[in-house]
Amino acid sequence: MVEQAIDVAVIGAGPAGLAAAIKAKEAGAEKVTIIERAEQLGGLLHQCIHNGFGLVYFNEDLTGPEYARRFIEKAMDLKIDMQLESMVLDLTAAKRITISSKEGLRTFHAKAVILAMGCRERTRHQIMIPGTRPAGVFTAGTAQRYVNVEGYIPGKNIVILGSGDVGMIMARRLTLEGAKVEAVVEILPYIGGLIRNEVQCVHDFDIPLFLEHTVTEIIGLKRIEAVTIARVDQNQEPIPGTERTIECDTLLTSVGLIPENELSLKAGVALDPITGGPFVSDTMETSVAGIFAGGNVVHVNDLVDSVTSESEVAGAGAADYAMGKTTPAGRKISLKGGENIRYIVPHTIGADKEVTLSMRVREPGEKVKIRIGDVFTKSLRVVKPSEMLKVNLTLEQLGKIGEETGEIEIICEKRG
C-alpha cells in the first residue's frame, strides 16, 4: 500500500474543493492534495453551460465552465496535487484517507481535511411519488449531464416537477433543443429557485407553470407515458377532482438537494439535521478537530459565488490547522434560529474574527427586519426560503456581544 503524508487533503474538486485548495495553498500549506472521483476538475460546473456565474465573486457574468476554468488554472499554477478518477473509500477521525484508483489503493495521512463533496439530488422515490417505475424519469441534474456533457436528449415531451433552479434551467435548455416542455409543476405557491430563472427560463419561453400542484401518479410500464397532476391544498395534499393527465415521455424532478455526507459520518463528524451538513464553526471546522467543510456539503447554496467564498474560509482554516497556527479555543457563541429563521451557517462564532452568516427563512415574508441579538438589525423588503440571506458581522459589531453571552438568537420579524 502506498502511504503518503500531506498537509491538507481536499475531498472533491467542484467549486468548493477548488476554492478551498487554492486558499489553503495561498495561506501557506505546502502539500495540498485534491481528490476527485470524476475524470476532470470542476465538478458539476461543467454541465452548467448557462450563464449567471461569478456575478458576485468576479463581478462578471460567466458560464459554469468559464467559472470553473479560472479556479482550475489557478490550482494548476499553484501546483496543487490532483488525484483524478480517485474515490475516497474511507476517512477516519485521525484523518487517514484511503482512495482507490486505476493505480491501486493509496493512503494519505493528512494534517487537515476539507470536505467538499457537494450534494446529490433527491429522487422521485424519496418524495414518494405514486405510480410505476418506467424509464424516462430523471433528476434534473442527471438530465442536464446527458444533454450538456454526453450530448443526448432524454425525450420529446417533458414534464418537470419542482421549480428548483436546475429544473427551470433544464426547461429552457430542452426547449432550445427542440423538445416540448409541457409543464413545470411546483407544490408551493411560489417558485423554488431564483427569480431571474423564473423569468428567463420559464416565462420567456411560455412554459406552462402550475403552482400549488404536484404529480400524483407516474404512468407507463416500459417508458413513461403520462403523469397525473393535481392541485394541492394548504397541507400539500392533492385535492380530489382537480387531477389532469399530461402525456409525456420524460419526467424531470427538481425536488431538492441533499448534502452528501456519507464520508463525514465515517469520520464521526456530527451533522445538523436541518441542513443535512456538518455543524461548523466560523472557520468552517466540523465537530472533528482538523476536519473542515465548505460549500454544498455543509448546506445547499443558491449561488456558486457563495460556495466559493465559504470554502475559502475552510481552506484558510485548514491551512492554519495544518501549520499548527490555530489559537487555543477561545469563545464559542452559538447562533440560534428564532422566529422565521430555519438555519444559520456557521453554527458557532468567536467574537474576535469577522464572519459572514448565511441563513434561510422558513416562510416568505414582506417588510421584515433581521435581528441578530443586540448587535445587528437590517430591514428587508422581501424574504423567501429559496433566497439565502447573507450578513457580514464586523469586528465592531462583534465587539458589542456581552462577555457572558453564550448564545445569540437570530430572528426575522415583521416590521411594525
**Rule CB under 8 A: which residues touch other proteins?**
1, 37, 85, 87, 89, 98, 100-105, 120-121, 123, 125-126, 128, 130-135, 138-139, 141-142, 145-147, 149-156, 177-179, 216-219, 221-223, 238, 249, 262, 265
The CA distance from 59 to 195, in Å, is: 19
Taking the complex as a whole, how short is the minimal distance between the CB of residue 99 and other proteins, in angstroms? 9
Q: Calculate the alpha carbon distances from 80 to 60, 76, 77, 300, 338 in Å.
A: 26, 6, 8, 26, 42
Task: State in angstroms the smallest separation of the CB of 85 from other proteins.
Answer: 6
* DSSP label of 85: S
Of 39 and 404, nearer to other proteins (C-beta) is 39
Q: How far is the CB of 137 from other proteins (least distance, A)?
A: 10
Residue 308 has φ and ψ, to the nearest 5°, of: -60, -50
Residue closer to other proteins, measured from CB, 24 or 44: 44
DSSP, res 38: S
Long-range contact set of residues 332-335: C-beta below 8 Å, sequence gap at least 24: 332/281, 332/406, 333/401, 333/405, 333/406, 333/407, 333/408, 334/406, 334/407, 334/408, 335/407, 335/408, 335/410
Phi-psi region of 285 (alpha: psi -120 to 50; beta: other; left: phi over 0): beta
Minimum separation from the CB atom of position 223 to other proteins (A)? 5
Please measure the distance between the N-terminal and C-terminal CA atoms of the chain and give it in whole angstroms.
Answer: 66
Minimum CB–partner distance for residue 114 and other proteins (Å): 18
For the bound state, the minimum distance from the C-beta of residue 354 to other proteins, rounded and expressed in Å, comes to 35
DSSP letter at 104 equals E
Cell matching residue 374: 443586540
Looking at the Cβ atoms of 38 and 56, the one nearer to other proteins is 38
Query: How many residues in total does the chain contain?
Result: 416
**Closest CB to other proteins among 230 and 333?**
230
Closest distance to other proteins from the beta carbon of 73 (Å):
26
Question: Quick one: 188 or 271, whose CB is closer to other proteins?
Answer: 271
In 3D space, the residue among 15, 2, 7 whose CA is nearest the CA of residue 294 turns out to be 15
- The SS3 of residue 237 is coil
- We find the least distance from the C-beta atom of residue 194 to other proteins, in angstroms, to be 22
Q: How far apart are CA 314 and CA 15, in angstroms?
A: 13
Least distance in angstroms from the C-beta of 175 to other proteins: 10
* Structural contact between residues 80 and 6, judged by C-beta atoms closer than 8 angstroms: no
Q: In terms of CB distance, is 17 or 154 closer to other proteins?
A: 154
Between 87 and 289, CB nearer to other proteins: 87
Least Cα distance to 318 among 326, 328, 309, 308 occurs for: 326
Closest CB to other proteins among 100 and 356? 100
Minimal distance in Å, beta carbon 166 to other proteins?
12
CA separation for the pair 326, 319 (Å, rounded): 9
Cα–Cα distance measured from residue 139 to residue 145, given in angstroms and rounded to the nearest whole number: 10
Q: Tell me which residue of 29, 1, 32, 44 sits closest to 296, measured CA to CA.
A: 44
**Of residues 216 and 386, the one with the C-beta less far from other proteins:** 216
Q: Which is nearer to other proteins, 132 or 377 (CB)?
A: 132
